[in-house]
Amino acid sequence: MKILVMPKPIEGVPREELLQHAAAEIQAVWELYAQGICREFYTRANEPGRVVLMFECASVEAAGEALATLPFAQLHLIDFDVIPLAPFTGLARLFQAPTGEPAGKTQ
């Protein structure tokens, strides 16, 4: 299952405290990458310094367990929006005949 992970700062946590633990956080994310859990990571173009992660896990719970290993999470410096993703099937409507049957199907 693909899971979009959007770390979000906890109100009141100073940026300096995050920076103090940044090297350990980066190392931990790299370890999740090496394990095949964190498949992709990006910087948000609209918010420099903010990161977005793409996980591949069996479940949202498994993603939460992986996130709990991160130093920022262990130190309660950040929280996460964890969003499970599924294949988009809306394009199937393009292949529907007006009656609701698949296009090209003849009787």
- Report pLDDT for 105: 56
In the chain, the percentage of residues whose pLDDT exceeds 70 is 92
| Residue ranges covered by each domain of the chain | 2-95
The residue ranges of the chain whose pLDDT is under 50 are none
Specify the pLDDT at position 96. Answer: 81
- The pair of structure tokens assigned to 50 is 């903010």
> Any idea which fold 2-95 has?
Alpha-Beta Plaits (3.30.70)
Q: Which residues contact 73 (CB under 8 A, 6 or more apart)?
A: 67, 80
Distance separating alpha carbons of residues 71 and 80, to the nearest angstrom: 13
d(CA 6, CA 29): 13
